[in-house]
Amino acid sequence: MTPLNIKKIFAILEKQNPAPKTELLYTSVFELLISVILSAQATDISVNKATRLLYPIANTPEKILALGEAGLILYIKSIGLYPTKAKNIIKTCAILIQAYNSQVPNDRKALEALPGVGRKTANVVLNTAFGHPTIAVDTHILRISNRIGLANAKTPLKVEQQLLGIIPKKYLNNAHHWLILHGRYICKARKPDCADCKINKYCDYYNVNKIK
């Protein structure tokens, strides 16, 4: 894909949604971190449903740590992998209290050292909370980046590296959200809504399949 077409794609996405944001509900960086940990292999809707009940009761490392695993599970048991997530969250809260004065670190290495936090989760926090120009490659971004022709790679890390290398700097802060939302609502896995897609004329999948 040409640099000009890449620029056009993101200009269109920006015009559609000038101020994109995550669909996870949060009021602090800590809440965002916990929500993103919970969102692994789960929908934002299911996470929000759980945290609507959890955060009014416990929304700091100290308060969640005080709940303990058993207490936390009562709030998150509707979310997939909740036993492991509860363990990781409790451990993460303890580390945040002991090592970071209960603050979420603005540092990739420190974030990835927290239990339950991998590169994708760290990227979400770095981008959404701290404004780092990075991209968290989830299943949506992995799929549509290859489908559209923005990337040609099978692993999240390689797709991330390719996207960071081609997306114009002016769009990098918001590219993560634009791509996720596009994959979630338009460029869906089984039946992409190509007819309603505003960037279809620049899309490899659309043009190769001559979709009308």
Listed in order, strand segments (DSSP E) in 164-210 are: none
Q: Is 138 a catalytic residue?
A: yes
Give the active site residue among 49, 138, 204, 210: 138
Examine the residue annotation and report whether 204 is marked as an active-site residue of this protein.
no
Joined tokens for residue 174: 């918001």
Distance CA 77, CA 59 (A): 17
d(CA 186, CA 209): 17
- Identify the active-site residue in 91, 120, 169, 198: 120
SS3 47: helix
Q: Taking every pair of C-alpha atoms in the chain, what is the biggest distance, in angstroms? A: 58
**Dist CA 38 CA 48 (whole Å):** 10
CA torsion sign, 169 to 36 to 199 to 209?
positive
Residues taking part in catalysis = 120, 138
